[in-house]
Amino acid sequence: MSILKLGYARVSTQDQELARQIDALNSYGVDEIFTEKITGTKANRPELLKLKNKLRAGDVVVIESLSRLGRSTKDLLNLIEEWNMQEIKLISLKENIDTTTPTGKLLITVLSAISQFERDITVQRTNEGLKAARARGRKGGRPKANIKQVEKAIKLYHAQVHSIKEITAITGISQATLYRALKNNG
């Protein structure tokens, strides 16, 4: 089986054009191009999934820019790591990165360190925020359900007059709270 050079192009909004990316990928000589026009926040990328399913060891993925592949540094690095383990080469034209060269490997290592730093900072800030909130007397988590409303809901349930939906509307508690109370209290 021959090595495939597969291109991937993505735009984040319907107004953006894929033409520039497609031209760059065609100039590089890719065998096939997978294109997506989706918002950058959507995790569902069917064309990327098709590309991933087609890849075999030794294949090459060509992108116009690293920003087109991942929505975040973490996403990008996870994908690159996955492909490295599968012996799939990644080439980014804009950044002139080839993940099989020493320079490309170094850059990925630096990006990994930056991603880990971002995660550590996020955890640190979250913990500091929680600590400050506790110092001000605030508690985390959801407020407890009103016990009287839960008891009323259980009575309504056992009376078998109302549906679950009606009971939750009458009492103002969620279905999950009602089911949990029924499981715990009968």
Report the catalytic residues. 12
Residue 163 backbone dihedrals phi, psi, to 5 degrees: -80, 165
What one-character-per-residue DSSP string does 84-126 give?
Answer: HHTT-EEEETTTTEETTSHHHHHHHHHHHHHHHHHHHHHHHHH
Distance CA 157, CA 180 (A): 13
Distance CA 28, CA 35 (A): 16
For 71, residues 6+ apart whose C-beta sits below 8 A from its C-beta are 40, 41, 43
At 157 the three-state DSSP class reads: helix
At 24 the three-state DSSP class reads: helix
Q: Which two tokens stand for residue 140?
A: 């985390």
Distance CA 126, CA 128 (A): 5
